Structure 1
């Protein structure tokens, strides 16, 4: 291992420009002659549009143009799509309602896009928007997830009962047989609360049209610019792919919310040609609350069957998943194939059956948010396991260990083939770091001080690097899920790596360069990572689902192998030796058994000089590309333990200790991985204790600002105690599993298991705000005087 190679905690190269204010985000792009867009949004959750009067607004100072859904339709601009087809259990396809980028005839949630006003300045656009008159016929709103189906009010005519699909997975007869012979059944009703992603950089877009080239450019805050170009060209019909460039520069966080194709970027690039000016839009925070795709929002009934000794026999789950007013780009996959196949958790469960009803409501669209389906699955199984252990009077850690998968590969009854892991090793290390043996003493001390203390476990597993393409295609995905890379070696030996992955905070410019430095034996400073521009990188599938390492870096590794192979040919010519005699190690090509060698940079120069090449046997240059399509998902797993204290007089929860032991396979940069874990845990704690997007009965978002939507703060979190175990992933050449979502997947269950342990009952749901905790604490059996004994 070199000082900057694989396994080294190298400081992030990109941070220098970020912390000195030199990053370039979409809002930093200003094109010559640009105008500013402001979207007129619906104040109603559900209404018919009788008419839109723009006459007065069009005459206001600075107004360049006002466009509506009628203009979109006249230009035959298609609607936004959902790229994953789900079929109901009766075989019928999901009921996808039309999703125009500007409303056509009807609005379906507060914030729906009614018109766009384009003016010389943003202030002028806002002023003119106030003069636009919209005649609404207000309709009743459907809001509650559990009551959406058959509510009477219809969100989309294609789904008269508001049901998008009735989907299922697993074998119901096997499950019923197991339940029939069970000695004990644990039942639980679970709400997975709706979340607003809130990355630090709001979404933004700049659309530009080059009349001479008849070509468009879109600068956008996207996690997958190539997919954005594909959808905008092939499905929405903005322009042919070769006439549309999409650039995603520095992106300040995404958490999944910037995967999707949104109305605003579609409108900006289309409007640029309509008004003959570049068009720029930057979301404010209220727009982000209203219109960014939300996450989670499940209502679930789950049951688990066990034998006399506590061995799990079967699991059955029924979930109602709120998909909002429209199907977002990947929304249909989240509560189905990204959810149910993870319900087995780390456990050897012989039979599982899951039903999912996807429903429309008059709320913002719901799609992938950090973890995307896996946090929801983990919360179901880990809450069930914890409650089952309590009901059986068994130690929760021992109950888990007894039911862990112990040999690999392991085929679950719900699609997944776990390829490797050691769940007991993570449990052992976590118990040690958390000082589990000392918990009874700490609990007694808390009781003496009038506090309630609890401990909670979360044995999570996730599926990352979604693949192979053949498999996801059979499950309804509309794209392949491979990744591409190109390694360009310059004559001086410096290297440019073009990757289809995209970084929005993960540190790719550092970790990807570490791989190149390690494999080619070159200084990390000589490696540049290029991403986020469809005119530079041919094609890629972007970043989500913790795929960048396992899939994106594996593509780079394949391209590096090709570079080394060609380098051996070049070195053979330059050193006048047989190719089979050339060895490559530590950045040097050597003739075996001799002292004749050339450094990597010297071979690069020889490749371009090409003086010693004979005839057409070897092409000049040193540039190689690769596409990598994994053979399987990767399966990061681990054990998170939360220990907390409750003040029953105020309902305030204090997390005293949080331990995370994760198995991410081989780790490229431990420091960056720990940072990813820390961030994920913070978001998971936020969901458990603070965050919750709430609509009133009229469909108004009552948590539409940070005044009402409580994010976790530094004071809410302890110093996390992080450890790792390593079982290399056998399904990719680097042995990487993925780390970006683990904390958000594991933490909610760990926190809620600790909280219910402290309270002594299960009657509390996320977010467990101080008021909710105070109410629950009044019913705690642990408040009796004898509890302190």
Structure 2
């Protein structure tokens, strides 16, 4: 790869190409798109967490001004459309498959959470549709609701789906139970902790939206939607829901204003809009308002766990056993079964050499919004559990938190964990050392004493995290129940003038792909970034792709581009050899120029590109005209970003207000293409982690099943003054699992920060645990409950 003289190559902090159009209001989002004769959709949603639908009377609503049509579950059933699916299959420990309740597009006879879709009103304007929805009369028979994870599996709990007795979708296990029990039997010390991972409600800047169209002449359906993986959306809508054959369905995801996992899934609204467009013969547009988003976007996290860690006399970890109840909500969302199982249980070894691990996970239904992947997806839950256990073990043994981690770090790679994953490369102690130096860990006792003189409590906590990224490989995830392979595709098109179009199956929703991918191509071809255009998000342009989630766009998406570039270079060298009358093996390509080794013969990139299309005198058997190549890339392993985050807090004992005084993150992301973009990703992830640790909590009323935190008045998002200035650092071990040595950076901040913050708070208060979010009220109550000695310390 060439070093760009202009400073645009790999490793350079190039400003994002896409930002100009975003900050000048020229982005192209789904809600920006309008069509001739467009109508608007509004969804009537259930006010009950659980109720039987006795009847739906739409007669009066159908006569309301502007109404074009009204659809209910009976219309969907009459067209024989399938329901929404879960694309990942999990089996229980007895070998039986998970118990899946139906997930209808529009409720047919029962609603199962507040916000469930009851009817769809299509009208000339959104105001007309909303007004007409108020005239629909639904005869509900309210039923008891099951909300609490503590009681949902009890014999007298109300059933969400009759197909799933005790509201249990699966009882999954991973690891070796006999070995784990044997290790516990010989342990010198057993550390136990009950942990909750609080429910989070995604709040991307752009709410979900959809615009469905149908062309009667061609029979083609087109769906514009806020999706992180438009190809998978098309596959599900065609193969499983049955909206249209795949070649008659085009899905376009234009600019997307944030996803964080919540826009991976196939939802009822977009499905209904594209299906109903053919019924009314006009385009149908829907844009969620924020109240709808709180109710109906898939939520995240929501685990209840009991964990036990066995140690020997020297503080070495012998075994870990975990029992987790994971909330799946009322229906299985697209990837929900994988999150608390194969994206959680497989990371419970953390960075540590734990000889034996056994984990049980019960996936349960409740009368709440579906729960699925949210930034990190299973990895934050695993890291939180492991790092809270390690911190607790340090305190109970009297071993310094840094030292107990050092004693147990994995040091030899590759390393096979007891829970499937094979870690390929890492240097965990390097990240720990760098983080401790950056935060001045040795100087903390003096800062704690100074804070005490001011009447404040000060604490410090760390988190050594690891995650599995680059989701992948297809054979591995297929064996674990994934319904699709997780390869990626790319096509590199060189135009006659030498500029380049790159079609990628990845999708950008804020990560800066248009810049990062262009940097890769410009660095490889020795051309300015302005000559590179990145194309994504349209199933009619890109052959097929698996989208963006799990920090896979670099390790998998860019690796596909590298493979396509390899093919382009191979063909270009053949053309250069022909033009310069040389042997192919004598052609050298560097800094955008082809030269014949040992001579002064050369050919610039632009001239080569034009020659590829003029094709004068090509030997037809060896070289075809044109310069366009595609590739699919299926990685050999996951990638394993890792690092150490350390948080220092100061607490006012009179108010319980926690202030983050210092936050240091040192991460190993392998090869970094654009450090400025990576730093932005880490900043954003930490901000979300701070939100979970201190502020955010999705709460349902235990009796009625109503969402109590249904707006920004009740659901507290972090603001600028809640966040400190972050100190970032990087260590580097190269991943051997992809040609660029990349690992992924998009989720690290959200994974590592919550346990570091809670470890710091519990250190300051001298207590074993505090539930997230550690709000001022909870912190103040913990201070009041603590002993005078612990509170003073």
Query: Which TM bucket (shorter chain)?
Result: over 0.9
1:293 matched to 2:298? The reply is yes
Contact kept in structure 1, 2:335 and 2:372, CA below 8 Å: yes
1:405 matched to 2:414? The reply is no
Q: Which residue among 1, 17, 22 is the counterpart of 2:21?
A: 17
Displacement, 1:161?
1.3
Q: Which residue among 187, 190, 197 is the counterpart of 1:182?
A: 187
Aligned to 1:613: 618
Aligned to 1:98: 102
Change (3 A) 1:134 1:587: same
Aligned to 2:723: 717
In 1, Cα distance between the equivalents of 2:792 and 2:710? 45
Q: Which residue among 721, 744, 748 is the counterpart of 1:742?
A: 748
Displacement, 1:615?
3.1
In 2, Cα distance between the equivalents of 1:764 and 1:553? 41
Query: For 1:438-587, what aligned pairs fall within 5 Å after superposition?
Result: 438-587=443-592
In 2, Cα distance between the equivalents of 1:199 and 1:774? 31
Aligned to 2:705: 699
1:117 matched to 2:95? The reply is no
Displacement, 1:225?
0.1
Q: Which residue among 26, 30, 47 is the counterpart of 1:26?
A: 30
Aligned to 2:313: 308
Q: Which residue among 227, 233, 237 is the counterpart of 1:232?
A: 237
Contact kept in structure 1, 2:766 and 2:790, CA below 8 Å: no
Contact kept in structure 2, 1:759 and 1:781, CA below 8 Å: no
Q: So what's the TM-score if we normalise by structure 2?
A: 0.99
Displacement, 1:477?
0.2
1:295-331 per-position Cα deviation (integer Å, ceiling 9, x unaligned): 0000000000000000000000000000000000000
Contact kept in structure 2, 1:51 and 1:135, CA below 8 Å: yes
Displacement, 1:782?
6.7
In 1, Cα distance between the equivalents of 2:333 and 2:119? 20
SS state at 1:136 partner: strand
Contact kept in structure 2, 1:47 and 1:108, CA below 8 Å: yes
SS state at 2:43 partner: strand
SS state at 1:296 partner: strand
1:759 matched to 2:784? The reply is no
In 1, Cα distance between the equivalents of 2:304 and 2:190? 20
1:380 matched to 2:392? The reply is no
Displacement, 1:600?
1.3
Displacement, 1:124?
0.5
1:77 matched to 2:81? The reply is yes
In 1, Cα distance between the equivalents of 2:315 and 2:789? 29
1:89 matched to 2:93? The reply is yes
1:600-627 per-position Cα deviation (integer Å, ceiling 9, x unaligned): 1111111111103123321000000000
Aligned to 1:43: 47
Change (3 A) 1:604 1:169: same
Contact kept in structure 1, 2:767 and 2:790, CA below 8 Å: no
1:317-355 per-position Cα deviation (integer Å, ceiling 9, x unaligned): 000000000000000000000000100000000000000
Give the CA RMSD over aligned residues. Answer: 0.8
In 1, Cα distance between the equivalents of 2:455 and 2:584? 76
Aligned to 2:141: 137
Q: Which residue among 729, 734, 740 is the counterpart of 1:728?
A: 734
Contact kept in structure 1, 2:685 and 2:747, CA below 8 Å: yes
Contact kept in structure 2, 1:763 and 1:776, CA below 8 Å: no
Displacement, 1:781?
4.4
Displacement, 1:784?
6.6
In 2, Cα distance between the equivalents of 1:563 and 1:786? 68
SS state at 1:50 partner: strand
Displacement, 1:506?
0.2
Change (3 A) 1:785 1:728: closer
Displacement, 1:587?
1.1
In 2, Cα distance between the equivalents of 1:379 and 1:764? 13
1:680 matched to 2:685? The reply is yes
Displacement, 1:777?
1.4
Aligned to 2:325: 320
Contact kept in structure 2, 1:760 and 1:781, CA below 8 Å: no
Q: So what's the TM-score if we normalise by structure 1?
A: 0.99
In 2, Cα distance between the equivalents of 1:730 and 1:680? 25
Contact kept in structure 1, 2:682 and 2:749, CA below 8 Å: yes
Q: Which residue among 258, 261, 267 is the counterpart of 2:266?
A: 261
SS state at 1:190 partner: strand
In 2, Cα distance between the equivalents of 1:625 and 1:783? 67
Contact kept in structure 2, 1:451 and 1:646, CA below 8 Å: yes
In 2, Cα distance between the equivalents of 1:760 and 1:178? 30
Contact kept in structure 2, 1:452 and 1:782, CA below 8 Å: no
Contact kept in structure 2, 1:688 and 1:748, CA below 8 Å: yes
Q: Which residue among 621, 629, 633 is the counterpart of 1:628?
A: 633
Aligned to 2:434: 429
Displacement, 1:785?
9.0
Q: Which runs of 5+ in 1 are unaligned?
A: none
SS state at 1:471 partner: helix
SS state at 1:762 partner: coil
In 1, Cα distance between the equivalents of 2:788 and 2:267? 50
1:60 matched to 2:67? The reply is no
